[in-house]
Amino acid sequence: MPNALEVQGLTKSYGKKLACDHVSFTIGEGEIFGLMGMNGAGKTTILRMLATLLRPDEGDAIIAGHSIVKEPDKVRANICYLPDEAGAYRSMTGRNYLRFIAGLYFEDPKAQKECVLRGEEICGLGNALSFKINTYSRGMIRKLVLARTVMTKPRLAILDEPTSGLDVLNSLDIRKSIRRCADEYGTAFLLSSHHMQEVQTTADRGAIMKDGHFLAEGTPAELLERYQANTLEEVFERAVKGV
């Protein structure tokens, strides 16, 4: 499987605080990679560097053959970033929001239209797409912003806590959408999460982070075996506590 993302020694600090310390990993096309870690572990810093919002102090990452340091513009054409608890423009209708995002990625009206149709289908909001976003529930907004993230068929979708604050059913819907888009479009996913269950059921591979380092990396099965655990929660506890 060719790599959608190759991270090489990515490093970032905020003043004296080292948020990301020479992190390296790869994600193949259509693969879902889960980043697990406590608050302040450095997950969001990695995601923001890959989304070209932060510039790394050291190292680089290659997305679809382009360097995030040297070619951020080309990288942006191949990624889609969903920030933690991201909202949408409240005065727009759901459909107009999808149209707006499609317009940022495609100049050709036909491609825009196809993209919006894809977004409508992925979010599954139906008639609610004609309503203004300020009337949406949290779950509806999350489905909409996830749809706009994947409807452009990016090589890499970067999702920061995609299901945080959602109820069980909405979380399940979101996870199914991620899996489906990875399988159908070949989009690679890098998602951060506090929910070990989410990573265990959704991700093909994952890594546990602490203080800007990767403590462990592998498929859920590999991690369970390595730490002699029954769940990823136990793996996480043992990895973080060094048990």
Partner 1 sequence: MMHLLKKELSELLTKQMLISLIVSVAVMFTLGFAMRTAVNTEDLTGDTIRLIDVDRMDFTQKVVERLEEKGYEVIDGVTFEKGMENDGWKNAVEIPAGLTDALLIRHEPAELISHTSLTTVSIMTVSMGNNTGSDAVATAIREELTAELFGSDYDYLNSPVTVSPRTYANGKSADADPSMIVSSVAMYDMFMPLVLFLLVVLTSQTIIGAIAIEKTDKTLETLLSAPVPRSRIIGAKMLAALIVALIYAAVYGIGFVGFMLFTVSSGVDMNNMNVSGAFTSMASAYKAVQDLGLEITGIGWLGVIAQLLLTLGISLTASIILGGLVEDAKGAQTASMPILFCTMFPYILTMVSDIRSMELGTRMLLYAVPFTHTFIATSCMHFHDYATFWGGLAYQAVFLIVVTAFALKLYSSDLLFVNSRTHRLRAKRKAQE
Using CB under 8 A, list all residues that contact partner 1.
14-15, 17, 48, 51-55, 73, 76-77, 79-92, 100-101, 103-105, 145
- The CA–CA distances, whole Å, from 198 to 132, 164, 183, 201 equal 30, 11, 17, 5
The rounded distance, in Å, linking the Cα atoms of 156 and 50 is 10
Residue 239 Cβ vs partner 1, minimum distance, rounded to whole Å: 24
Length of the chain: 243
Q: Are 105 and 115 in contact, with CB atoms under 8 Å apart?
A: yes
Going by their DSSP bridges, the two strands 66-67 and 58-63 should be labelled as antiparallel
Q: Which is nearer to partner 1, 38 or 86 (CB)?
A: 86
**Coil, strand or helix at 57:** coil
Q: Which is nearer to partner 1, 88 or 125 (CB)?
A: 88
The rounded distance, in Å, linking the Cα atoms of 82 and 147 is 10
Q: Which is nearer to partner 1, 27 or 68 (CB)?
A: 68
Residue 148 Cβ vs partner 1, minimum distance, rounded to whole Å: 8
Max Cα distance, the chain (Å): 56
Q: Which is nearer to partner 1, 87 or 139 (CB)?
A: 87
Residue 233 Cβ vs partner 1, minimum distance, rounded to whole Å: 25
Residue 56 Cβ vs partner 1, minimum distance, rounded to whole Å: 10
**Sign of torsion over alpha carbons 179, 32, 185, 55:** positive
Residue 61 Cβ vs partner 1, minimum distance, rounded to whole Å: 14
